[in-house]
Amino acid sequence: MGLDQQQLESALKGERQYSYLPFSLHILDSVASTNKTLWELLEQGAKNGCVVIATQQTAGRGQWGRNWISPTGGLYLSVLLTPKIAASHSYQLTFASAWGIANQLRKSGVNVEIKWPNDLVINRRKLGGILTETKVHQGIITQAVIGVGINWTNPVPKTGINLEMWQAAQKTKLIPCLEVLAAKILLGIESGIQSLLQEGVNILLARYQQLLANLGDRVYVNNLAGTIVGVIPTGELHVLIDTFESSQATKPEIYLQPGIISLGYSTSPNQ
């Protein structure tokens, strides 16, 4: 069952405090990939703010080219941006979207956190993820597609959670329908991108780190043990390495690129 466009537009209008992205909605039941469909629409003249939404993907993609299992019952959407930022800063679009979505859902009472760099989690179980793809000209990102997948009613593995599963344990249903969820995701992306482009990466990063589920976690890298203390402006994970020298004034530190380590998820519903 697809989304009701009129209901989605009404939900967007009801919650929108500003109009930063000129959303143009394309709602489909099933696509190979919402990102792929949006790139095809770009070739046909799609503009900044164009959105593709589906409730099923047959060939969804995740981080590092992995397949993204996208069964019916999830929310899958992609938004076209024209950010005009340096290609080396593409990670900032992912961080902005992750923070914006998490912040928007938290305003509704859903205790979403961010798992570095691009996942959304509830109680350390995966609720959704973000995939950013870009086109670059002379070192500048001219177009970017932000793809988001959120578990709504679809089946999930033990390390995952869907919103309906989580809401069943709450006193009230905070997100009443898929259209309201889609509106909140779009508004979250909009607010995150606006924060990045108008206020800068340092303010955005401070907000991102406030919602980072991994802060304080213990990690092991190349036989070294350390503690996650944050994320730096270039996007790497900041880890302080343990030392047995009590006289050492400062601990050695390392900075990890995405993909170097896997931070994992919880399988416990109560963690």
pLDDT score of 67: 59
51 with 110, same domain? Answer: yes
131 with 227, same domain? Answer: no
Q: Is the pLDDT of residue 271 over 50?
A: no
236 with 144, same domain? Answer: no
**What span, in angstroms and rounded, lies between the C-alpha atoms of 188 and 175?**
14
148 with 175, same domain? Answer: yes
* DSSP label of 178: H
Return the CA Rg of the chain.
19
78 with 194, same domain? Answer: yes
Asked if the structure places residue 58 within a domain, the reply is: yes
CATH number at residue 189: 3.30.930.10
Kindly list the distances between the CA atom of residue 215 and the CA atoms of 1, 48, 100, 183, 209, in Å, as whole numbers in the listed order.
39, 34, 19, 29, 8
Q: Is the pLDDT of residue 68 over 60?
A: no
DSSP string, 252-265: -EEEE-TTSS----
Asked if the structure places residue 264 within a domain, the reply is: no
pLDDT score of 139: 97
CB neighbour list of residue 11: distance below 8 Å, 6 or more residues apart: 179, 180, 182, 183, 184
Domain that holds residue 228: 218-256
Confidence of residue 102 (pLDDT cuts 50, 70, 90): very high
Asked if the structure places residue 22 within a domain, the reply is: yes
250 with 205, same domain? Answer: no
28 with 161, same domain? Answer: yes
Final residue in a domain of this structure, among 210, 227, 248: 210
Asked if the structure places residue 49 within a domain, the reply is: yes
Q: Is the pLDDT of residue 46 over 90?
A: yes
More confident: 61 or 138: 138
Percent of the chain whose pLDDT exceeds 70: 90
- DSSP H helices in 111-235: 163-167, 178-199, 201-210
pLDDT score of 18: 75
Percent of the chain whose pLDDT exceeds 90: 75
60 with 174, same domain? Answer: yes
pLDDT tens for 89-100 read 999 999 999 999
Kindly list the distances between the CA atom of residue 209 and the CA atoms of 194, 226, 230, in Å, as whole numbers in the listed order.
18, 18, 7
- Give the dihedral of Cα atoms 202, 207, 208, 209; nearest 10 deg: 90
151-156 average pLDDT score:
94
Final residue in a domain of this structure, among 175, 210, 245: 210
108 with 59, same domain? Answer: yes
Asked if the structure places residue 50 within a domain, the reply is: yes
More confident: 16 or 192: 192
230-248 average pLDDT score:
83
Asked if the structure places residue 39 within a domain, the reply is: yes
Q: In the numeric block, which tokens belong to residue 73? A: 């019952």
116 with 229, same domain? Answer: no
223 with 129, same domain? Answer: no
Asked if the structure places residue 122 within a domain, the reply is: yes
Confidence of residue 267 (pLDDT cuts 50, 70, 90): low
pLDDT score of 2: 75
Nearest Cα to Cα of residue 161 among 118, 215, 124: 124
Q: Is the pLDDT of residue 245 over 70?
A: no
pLDDT score of 96: 98
Asked if the structure places residue 271 within a domain, the reply is: no
pLDDT tens for 155-212 read 999 999 999 999 999 999 999 999 999 999 999 999 999 999 999 999 999 999 999 9
Q: What is the mean pLDDT of the chain?
A: 90
110 with 232, same domain? Answer: no
| Total domain count, the chain | 2
Q: Is the pLDDT of residue 70 over 50?
A: yes
More confident: 68 or 227: 227
